[in-house]
Amino acid sequence: MKTIDELLADGVSGKRVFVRADLNVPLADGTITDDGRIRAVLPTVKALAEAGAKVVVASHLGRPKGAPDPAFSLLPAAERLGELLGAPVAFAQDTVGPAAHDAVDGLQPGQVAVIENLRFNAGETSKDDTERAEFADRLAALADVYVGDGFGAVHRKHASVYDLPKKLPHYAGYLIATEVGVLKKLTEDVKRPYVVALGGAKVSDKLAVIDALLGKADRLLIGGGMAYTFLKAKGYEVGISLLQEDQIPAVTEYMQRAEKQGVELVLPVDVLVSREFPDLKTKAPADYTVVDADKIPADQEGLDIGPKTRELYASKLTDAATVFWNGPMGVFEHPDYAGGTKAVAQALLDSDGFTVVGGGDSAAAVRTLGFDENAFGHISTGGGASLEHLEGKTLPGLAALED
């Protein structure tokens, strides 16, 4: 995989460089609530601009259905990118139409333009190879060189991720180069003990990675909504907690395999329960109690790991040489149920090992809860991509850059 440093060494002054970024930031009423993904691509964009390239930044945002939708416009992301760069950023109101060509044609060396949401064109996500290739051809007309730096999208076989780099000289940006290096430390050159903390809502989202990690990790710590399917598989009452009953057979098998393979699979020993889900808008104080994990009332739901579990999980992370954490331990968006996620984050900070926060809600939680991002070994920008790599899957966007 050739990197951006090789491209810069060859010279890019005056060249149109297409940067496939991941500007898929969360928005609330048109306002960005977490700009972490924009900041992650800054080193690549800055380096290219400072070297005199005409930088064309492209990304998706949300899941529009192959047509323009103002709710998913990249304009707020383009404006924020300009603020962070400290320089004007042109914005094209289409992807490959007249506005995009005008914006790119108007660039002077060292300037940056952002084109509109790639998913406003059905060709971006099409499963039809021909339709996808045709859209990639139209994107290729905007550039001379391709730089892949949208790690959060490399597990997607999309036109701008998979097809476009095959049509242009292609290089990996700084973010992707960093992410690939981190993934090697989690899969090929692992220092032990290797501890993985998994949370989030659905156990079905994590089954494949659990399957893969049973042969690699020394300990698995399970939290979040997915924990209740494990507790149910042990025969516990879980009340009205999030539960995927159809996954109980798979979870049971994994618990048995973990025991046979000597992998320590750790479940919550106590939880915070309530009859009502908290109001995440007003953040009004919640009415909850702490109960042992095997004593959840039938009319209540678990919303966070309890204080004993927080201490337990912290102790299981103390001696770790490598830690991968993906998924919050509870409903961290509400202050009364953020304690479990805070405890895991703090345990990672207190660890002397190499700590990786695996993107998605975990990365958002770190920033929302006020932790210093630089204190962690690495905060990934791609939760899904990280998980699929750990599962052993080939990621289309990385494969395209390696060709």
Q: Which of 178, 201, 229 is the last residue of a domain?
A: 178
C-beta contacts of 123-132 below 8 A and 24+ residues apart: 123/159, 124/60, 124/66, 124/95, 124/158, 124/159, 124/160, 125/66, 125/156, 125/158, 125/159, 126/159, 132/157, 132/158, 132/159, 132/162, 132/163
Assess whether 219 carries a catalytic annotation.
no
Same domain, 244 and 357: yes
Residue 17 makes CB contacts below 8 A (sequence gap 6+) with 7, 48, 53, 54, 55, 56, 143, 144, 145, 146, 147
Please tell me the total number of residues recorded for the chain in this structure: 403
Binding residues for substrate: 22-24, 37, 60-63, 119, 156
Same domain, 215 and 321: yes
In-domain check, residue 183: no
Q: Which of 114, 146, 178 is the last residue of a domain?
A: 178
Binding residues for ATP: 206, 302, 333, 359-362
Q: Give me the pLDDT at residue 311, please.
A: 98
Q: Give me the pLDDT at residue 368, please.
A: 86
In a 3-state reduction of DSSP, which class is residue 55?
strand
Same domain, 113 and 149: yes
In-domain check, residue 214: yes
Assess whether 202 carries a catalytic annotation.
yes
Which segments within 21-104 are labelled E, that is strand?
A: 27-28, 31-32, 54-58, 89-92
Helix, strand, coil share of the chain (percent; to 5): 40, 15, 40
Same domain, 174 and 204: no
Same domain, 119 and 221: no
Q: Give me the pLDDT at residue 220, please.
A: 97
Same domain, 221 and 252: yes
Q: HEC states along 197-209?
A: EECCCCHHHCHHH
In-domain check, residue 397: no
Same domain, 30 and 117: yes
Locus of tokens 């108007």: 106
Q: Give me the pLDDT at residue 205, please.
A: 87
Binding residues: 22-24, 37, 60-63, 119, 156, 206, 302, 333, 359-362
Residue 67 makes CB contacts below 8 A (sequence gap 6+) with 120, 122
Assess whether 327 carries a catalytic annotation.
no
Same domain, 159 and 195: no
Output the CA torsion sign for 327, 330, 333, 335: negative
Instruction: Out of 360, 382, 383, 397, pick the active-site residue.
Output: 360
Angstrom distance (rounded) from CA 87 to CA 81: 9
In-domain check, residue 396: no
Binding residues for (2R)-3-phosphoglycerate: 37, 119, 156
Residue type, 202: K
Same domain, 114 and 259: no
Q: How many domains does the chain have?
A: 2
Instruction: Out of 16, 37, 157, 232, pick the active-site residue.
Output: 37
In-domain check, residue 33: yes
All residue ranges of the chain with pLDDT < 70 are: none
In-domain check, residue 299: yes
Q: Give me the pLDDT at residue 215, please.
A: 82
Instruction: Out of 202, 216, 367, 393, pick the active-site residue.
Output: 202
Instruction: Out of 150, 224, 339, 384, pick the active-site residue.
Output: 384
Q: Give me the pLDDT at residue 102, please.
A: 98
Contact 50, 88 (CB under 8 A): no
> The domain spanning residue 207 has which CATH number?
3.40.50.1260
Q: Give me the pLDDT at residue 358, please.
A: 86
Q: Which of 156, 178, 200 is the last residue of a domain?
A: 178
Same domain, 263 and 345: yes
Q: Give me the pLDDT at residue 392, please.
A: 85
Q: Give me the pLDDT at residue 340, please.
A: 97
* Span 309-352, pLDDT tens digits: 999 999 999 999 999 999 999 999 999 999 999 999 999 999 99
Angstrom distance (rounded) from CA 147 to CA 400: 11
Pick from 21, 7, 12, 8: nearest CA to 114: 21
In-domain check, residue 301: yes
Same domain, 117 and 257: no
**Structural domain span for residue 60:** 4-178
Assess whether 86 carries a catalytic annotation.
no
In-domain check, residue 398: no
Same domain, 259 and 368: yes
Q: What is the pTM of this model?
A: 0.87
